[in-house]
Amino acid sequence: MGAGVTVDRLAELLVSHFGAPADRVAGGVTFEELEFDSLALVELAMVAQKEFGVEVDEQEFTPEQSVAGAARLIDSRRAAS
Amino acid sequence: MPQAMPGFGVAVTGLGLVTPAGIGVDEVWRRVLSGEPTAAPDPALEGMPVDFSCRVPGFDPDRELGRRAAWRLDRSSQLAVVALREALRDSGLDPSTWDGARVGVVIGTALGGVQTYEAQQRELDSSGVGAVSPLLVPMSAPNMVAGYLAMECGASGPNLVTATACASGATAIGTARELLRGGRCDVVITGGVDAPITRTMIAGFTRMGALSRRTSDPRAASRPFDTARDGFVAGEGAAVLVLERNHDARVRGARVHGLISGYGASADAHHATTPDPSGAAAERAVRSALEDAGLSAHDVDHVNAHGTSTKLNDVTEARLVRGVFGDGVAVTSTKGVTGHALGAAGAIEAVCTLLALRDDVVPPTANLDSLDPEVEVDVVAKEPRPGRLRAAVSNSFGFGGQNAVLVVTRS
């Protein structure tokens, strides 16, 4: 699956599960800019695990990370598994 | 500042309701006056010995609060936040300009975020620790609802939750009044909430023998004071009231719905779930509430009973009401319509009592076809009963023997 597809699915998840504003979610936007706090990032690791079937440690998503960066992390885990 | 003087009435300047009888005070009050029950089959309880409940109709948290706020809140807090917003709008107060340090929050809840707790327990059992939400604790801890209401409106004064089972909402309102009377706050957001309809909790209440088993006809299941009653119907909901000292409310030109003029509390010290058959402690709560209000039993025209529709409560309570008030008060139980929303019940019923005084009408007790001969009080049935109401009492009695009674007077 290409990186673009993962970004799109992740973006959709940020809107549907977390209520992030759809018009602000884009690859270059960071979680901090989307006002994700530490609890939301742990929840994201949990939800991403279910959605993408990969192991993501709860500290691996960070406030400074962009949505595209998170998608790359997910894809790298998927390639490794 | 007035200190512990009898007859200290606090003004109710804002009301918000989210109940099985509807969303919003006007919709709820119309339904309560109609006497139309809300109990219905509940898909979430399918296959259980009790498979019906009283749910808030059409409550969509994502629509009401936005997904961004809703996903982080247990259903109980979702209901409370929606009720708070209505109450604040109604009060005319502007949280962006008030001194938040002078605004308190006191909310009653019997069970807290049990829906979240139960769902996360299932995740743990089926998928392990990694599947448990980091929001489990802040969503399910019983104190959190008061914290979330404070965040919603910048209320940074005293903030607490009262837990006295089915009396929690009334205890909260009585406690809120004390914060105003003692000068600790200028505004208190108060009320009650519960969203207790989960398979585990319903199983527990079923095993206690507390719930109606009328699965063939749920609409007729909540029938306080009726000969054929066989238990309560579990409900959910939230009621929020904005309280201010009467003088302050007058000075700012607020519309005052009515006054919380007295509060009495006591404990049966008798049994976990069975009310003391003598009703002595509950009666003491009623009498101390009257004394606190500076009223005698003869000043009271209406009692909004706890009236759960259980065999034991209704007879014990009727005996107590007769003992204190004789047959001179119009008694109703709005639980016939709304079911029993546990920690929210006392607050929902305080609002109904305020509205009864405002409109000079006592709502009927739903499903009351045949008054239990042991109930020797004047219970309003079938139709709302108009008539001048000077003062009213709202009773709330909790499992654990906790009793809380409010006296409501006209504005």
Cβ-based contacts of A46 with chain B (< 8 Å): 130-134
| Residue type at position B399 | F
Q: Which two tokens stand for residue A60?
A: 């691996």
B247 in catalytic set: no
Q: Where in chain B is the domain with CATH 3.40.47.10?
A: 10-251, 260-409
Number of domains in chain A: 1
Cβ-based contacts of A15 with chain B (< 8 Å): 67
CA distance readout (Å), B249 to A6, A37, A48, B309, B411 = 56, 39, 51, 37, 11
Helix residue ranges per DSSP H, B49-74: 61-65, 67-70
Could you report the predicted ipTM of this complex, rounded to two decimals?
0.90
Residue of A nearest to B130 (CA): A46
**Which of B71, B130, B132 is closest, CB to CB, to A19?**
B71
Cβ neighbour number for residue A1 with a 10 Å cutoff = 11
User: Given an 8 Å threshold on Cβ–Cβ distance, is B68 in contact with A43?
Assistant: no
Q: What distance in Å separates the CA atoms of residue B280 and residue B267, rounded to the nearest whole number? A: 10
Question: Residue A72 is part of which domain span?
Answer: 3-80
Question: Number of residue pairs across A and B with CB atoms under 8 Å?
Answer: 34
The CATH number given to B10-251 is: 3.40.47.10
According to the model, what pLDDT value does residue B273 have? 85
Question: What CATH code is carried by the domain that includes residue A16?
Answer: 1.10.1200.10
| Residue type at position B18 | V
pLDDT in tens, chain B (411 residues): 444 556 688 999 999 999 999 999 999 999 999 999 999 999 999 999 999 999 999 999 999 999 999 999 999 999 999 999 999 999 999 999 999 999 999 999 999 999 999 999 999 999 999 999 999 999 999 999 999 999 999 999 999 999 999 999 999 999 999 999 999 999 999 999 999 999 999 999 999 999 999 999 999 999 999 999 999 999 999 999 999 999 999 999 999 999 999 999 999 999 988 888 889 999 999 999 999 999 999 999 999 999 999 999 999 999 999 999 998 999 999 999 999 999 999 999 999 999 999 999 999 999 999 999 999 999 999 999 999 999 999 999 999 999 999 999 998
User: Given an 8 Å threshold on Cβ–Cβ distance, is B138 in contact with A39?
Assistant: yes
Residue of B nearest to A47 (CA): B131
- The CATH architecture that domain B260-409 belongs to is 3-Layer(aba) Sandwich (3.40)
Which of B262, B263, B208, B258 lies closest to B232, judged by CA? B208
CB B208 within 8 A of CB B136: no
Q: Is B71 helix (H, G, I), strand (E, B) or coil?
A: coil
Name B105's bridge partners: B159, B189
According to the model, what pLDDT value does residue B8 have? 82
Mean pLDDT of chain A: 92
